[in-house]
Amino acid sequence: MYLLAPMTATVRIAGPKDAAAIAAIYRPYVLESRFTFEIVPPDADDIEARMMNPLHPWLVAESARRVIGYASTAPMRNRAAYRWSVETGIYLEPEAQGRGVARTLLQSHLELLEERGFVTAIAGIALPNDASVALHERLGFVLAGIERGVGFKLGQWVDVARWQRDLAPRTAAPLEPLTGPSPSESA
């Protein structure tokens, strides 16, 4: 088995200046893979708009002052009772894959979500995706269920596994999740 050398990456909160790099990283996933169900790649303006909710932070990983990956957060569902649960996503440039960047980025993301008062992180993983499943399992996610054939992309019906990680114990009356600096203040 060939192992790639670890890659050193710095993780920070993403801001508007990162939107173009994030869009460029995400574009091939949209066009060439079943790992996302988007069909039309979002441009930098679309990405920036998605990042603007200060309650749902996005992080980027940088190496040599260049964005090589990102982790996103979105509401799990739009109903108020779901507000302590978030859905996460993580995408890397090809040369960053298999070099420890994903683990560093996702671990940092989970720690930030926990600090902000979220209780559950959910990852939807289009199957098959052994690398993503292994990453999430290493970071404490457990399989919550599989949605069979819920998406059709690139000529195939695709299953999505839902992986869940608890970030905090369930309490009778949880505190409201905290917002952080807005992405525009972080850039």
Report the pLDDT value the prediction gives residue 78, as an integer from 0 to 100.
Answer: 87
pLDDT band at residue 2, thresholds of 50, 70 and 90?
very low
- Mean pLDDT, residues 73-94 taken together: 93
Q: How far is CA 83 from the centre of its chain?
A: 17
pLDDT, position 80: 87
Going from the C-alpha of 129 to that of each of 4, 33, 132, 153, the distances in angstroms are 19, 11, 6, 15
Least trusted range by pLDDT, from 35-39, 88-92, 177-181: 177-181
Residue 150 three-state SS: strand
* Cβ-based burial of 178 (10 A; exposed 0-12, middle 13-18, buried ≥19): exposed
Distance from the first to the final alpha carbon of the chain: 40
Rounded CA separation 164/19 (Å): 27
Instruction: Report how far residue 175's alpha carbon sits from residue 187's, in angstroms, rounded to the nearest whole number.
Output: 28
Which residue type sits at 56? H
Structure tokens that stand for 2 in this block: 């060939």
Can you tell me the distance from the alpha carbon of 128 to that of 76, in angstroms, rounded to the nearest whole number?
Answer: 22
Return mean pLDDT, the chain.
Answer: 92
> β-pairing, 120-126 with 142-153?
unpaired
For residue 185, pLDDT over 90 is answered with no
The pTM score is 0.89
In this prediction, residue 145 carries a pLDDT of 98
